[in-house]
Structure 1
């Protein structure tokens, strides 16, 4: 048992009840249905879990923070949602979440206890909902899905459904402080039967699951052409699109008059519209219509530098926060240097009044929880270190480098 100084109590929690409170779940379903209708303007295309009896698993894509709202009421029965430990630990109503059957776990880390709890749900005939990507996207592109997900689906030995949300990214982009109401879609359908999974190679499970879950919100928007309120407002997007695609200068992109992304170095300028697309309104450079394509260019440019060794280490000073379990929020715990190098993070500094040097492996991290321009969360065991970087503009570069190292490591493992 580990004593957590931030809360004065052990980190180990009591085992949560496995059966949700039906009446409470029904009440919350009424609320989420209203939010889905008026906040997300949800339209359900298919709903193959409605009235579904017996155990099953739902795998859902993750475009925005409140995606679960669009799925919460669709089965007509209580479902167990797997949620992030960080989100759960900072809520003032954890007991309510427990009574709703929520299962908190560290993102990109799955312990034997986590697996047992999820397995218990289906063994008891329940419905389990997981978001394999673990994080909502920052640029309209899916976060990488951990490779262990596909083996997990095969091991569960129950029917698997997909819940695919479309348009929710534009309602509340990760980089924006603004809600942008507009039409969204939810499509829920069976992907695998239990029998199919029993006979299917893991690689085939991966191919079909990826095809169902992975997305590019901007290319989907090209098909639907939905107007979202003030979708032209690009404030915050400069933290994601931090490199100019024309002159390749980093951290030169700023926002002008809410709707223009401008490079201070070369004058490259793109302007947003109500559909979320970009137009070249400057005098230099080629037009990049999709935010997702601009983000890919930044990723590939950094990947080249990582692979040729010209830039494979990132470091920055940071204020480190940890969860206070009594206050149910992150509070300052110290300061230190954060270094990402290869397959590990190194945190050096004073934490909780003690000089600390922590090395945290990143092999299993497809990404990290973060807020563009502000912080990233490094998870080591049952601890979460929320690091507010002294230079907030580096957050997205850290995240891109984590994704690059994960891509490289999974490619290498796939060869053997």
Structure 2
């Protein structure tokens, strides 16, 4: 049928025909090339200190082409797009981004493809095949979620299967500084530093034809192993922020000295004369409320003990890996059980979430169970930006809520959508995704680590 149309007639929820862009459409010249590359790209380069040069050899490679990169930060598509300026890319992005009315419309027009995290999504596969079928360029971050602790994450071989089926060439893309600039856990947004990037390896289409799916997957998996802290140990760089450690307590939540769980919090080092001058800054101290252990996050994003009796790990990756061993030890104990009070939320209008119930989440023997109440989303309390919409704040959902029990098997989970310090989402094939907000939101990394440890134990015992 030749070049695909940038739009397709679809039916909206009211049943009326409406022109909407098709997922995986040819990227709009206005939204991608002019607004995205020229205007937004120029602003982002200046704000985030991007030092990027377009590689003409990569830009001129014949399609179909798949550009594969790590996913350290929110800004990864912008970094990849700027590095390949002049060659439009169809990016695969998290489905949740498309729930935002204006932003979702813009990125859809720009050719982006929504992907439901950690579960099979036929809609996404069809759109990816559409892009590659017309000889386009697909940009994807196969880890499926941003770095938690500066280290790369494993992924399954679904992408390799698509590459093999379409005969697309593969390019490996690597950035440095995106995680340090805007770490996933940060509550203070981005910090000013420098981002560089390069295309590191090319797997030509001719070579793809000779390889098996497993060989293609193994090539990408090995090429994407990366530790941002290792890189910046060899290439020191300052990242300026008014609150550099704010939010890190949601990952670094076990004290290195007393080993107590969820006792860390962030304090100001500014005005503390016991610290060296260069460390007297706002929100740069991780303090244990149980034993008083203090850890400094320095201007390079690494950790240091604040005093001679304080204990610390050099970086967040080592801290998080140590925490995982503790959770694994706990899970291995007979009768282990984790419980936490939670609020239950459900997507209600395609964009916002509504509180639909309250109850207790229990993690035991590889099963996650919610026991509590649930009302229909239309009877719930709609939240906007984490707070009840004033229109619904006085609503009493207890009258419409009924007792429910929901169960999820850890063994069947590829991962979980997490917003550390805020919420987690669990998916049920019959009822869709539910959002859980724990009473103690600092426990989210603990809950996730426990579930993953249980999953690994189930796999090891098979």
Normalising by the smaller structure, the TM-score range is 0.7 to 0.9
| Mapping 1:294-313, distance limit 5 Å | 294-309=319-334, 311=336, 313=337
Residue correspondences, number: 403
Q: Give deviations 1:137-183, integer Å, cap 9, x for gaps.
A: 22212233235444444344210112212111111122223220111
| Mapping 1:236-251, distance limit 5 Å | 236-251=247-262
Q: What is the deviation of 1:18?
A: 2.6
| Mapping 1:56-205, distance limit 5 Å | 56-73=65-82, 74-178=84-188, 179-205=190-216
Q: TM-score, normalised by structure 2?
A: 0.79
Distance 1:8 1:317, change over 3 A: farther
Measure the CA separation in 2 of the matches of 1:160 and 1:229. Answer: 35
Q: Give deviations 1:377-397, integer Å, cap 9, x for gaps.
A: 223347332211111121111
Measure the CA separation in 1 of the matches of 2:256 and 2:407. Answer: 34
Measure the CA separation in 2 of the matches of 1:253 and 1:176. Answer: 15
Q: Is the contact made by 2:185 and 2:248 (CA closer than 8 Å) also made in structure 1?
A: yes
Measure the CA separation in 1 of the matches of 2:30 and 2:422. Answer: 39
Among residues 304, 309, 331, which one is paired with 2:354 in the alignment? 331
Alignment of 1:346 onto 2:394 = no
Q: Is the contact made by 1:106 and 1:379 (CA closer than 8 Å) also made in structure 2?
A: no
Among residues 257, 263, 287, which one is paired with 1:262 in the alignment? 287
* Structure 2 equivalent of residue 4 of structure 1: none
Distance 1:176 1:78, change over 3 A: same
Q: What is the deviation of 1:188?
A: 2.1
Q: Give deviations 1:16-46, integer Å, cap 9, x for gaps.
A: 4632223332122113321331122122367
Measure the CA separation in 1 of the matches of 2:325 and 2:108. Answer: 42
Q: What is the deviation of 1:364?
A: 5.2
Q: Is the contact made by 1:345 and 1:362 (CA closer than 8 Å) also made in structure 2?
A: yes
Q: Is the contact made by 2:285 and 2:296 (CA closer than 8 Å) also made in structure 1?
A: yes
Q: Secondary structure in 2 aligned to 1:270?
A: strand
| Mapping 1:348-367, distance limit 5 Å | 348=371, 349-352=373-376, 353-363=401-411, 365-367=413-415
Which structure is larger by alpha-carbon Rg, 1 or 2? 2
Q: Which has the higher contact order (CA 8 A, sep 6+)?
A: 1
Gaps of 5+ in 1: 1-6
Among residues 391, 394, 397, which one is paired with 2:443 in the alignment? 394
Measure the CA separation in 2 of the matches of 1:302 and 1:237. Answer: 18
Distance 1:169 1:17, change over 3 A: closer
* Structure 2 equivalent of residue 370 of structure 1: 418
* Structure 1 equivalent of residue 58 of structure 2: 49
Distance 1:259 1:329, change over 3 A: same
Q: Is the contact made by 1:269 and 1:280 (CA closer than 8 Å) also made in structure 2?
A: yes
Alignment of 1:404 onto 2:453 = yes
Alignment of 1:385 onto 2:385 = no
Q: Give deviations 1:77-127, integer Å, cap 9, x for gaps.
A: 321111111221134343332221111121011233322221121011111
Q: Is the contact made by 1:62 and 1:165 (CA closer than 8 Å) also made in structure 2?
A: no
Distance 1:124 1:412, change over 3 A: farther
Measure the CA separation in 1 of the matches of 2:339 and 2:156. Answer: 25
Measure the CA separation in 1 of the matches of 2:14 and 2:153. Answer: 34
Measure the CA separation in 2 of the matches of 1:208 and 1:394. Answer: 36
Measure the CA separation in 2 of the matches of 1:362 and 1:35. Answer: 42
Q: What is the deviation of 1:367?
A: 2.8
Q: Is the contact made by 2:66 and 2:171 (CA closer than 8 Å) also made in structure 1?
A: yes
Q: Give deviations 1:253-286, integer Å, cap 9, x for gaps.
A: 2222122212232332211111011111234355
Measure the CA separation in 1 of the matches of 2:459 and 2:208. Answer: 23
Measure the CA separation in 2 of the matches of 1:306 and 1:147. Answer: 29
Measure the CA separation in 1 of the matches of 2:201 and 2:183. Answer: 28
Gaps of 5+ in 2: 1-11, 269-282, 377-400
| Mapping 1:6-45, distance limit 5 Å | 16=23, 18-27=25-34, 28-44=36-52
Measure the CA separation in 1 of the matches of 2:252 and 2:70. Answer: 23
Measure the CA separation in 1 of the matches of 2:375 and 2:442. Answer: 23
Distance 1:60 1:35, change over 3 A: farther
Q: Is the contact made by 1:109 and 1:364 (CA closer than 8 Å) also made in structure 2?
A: no
Measure the CA separation in 1 of the matches of 2:438 and 2:13. Answer: 26
Distance 1:17 1:237, change over 3 A: closer
Please tell me the root mean square deviation across aligned C-alpha atoms, in Å. Answer: 2.8
Q: TM-score, normalised by structure 1?
A: 0.87
Q: Is the contact made by 1:268 and 1:283 (CA closer than 8 Å) also made in structure 2?
A: no
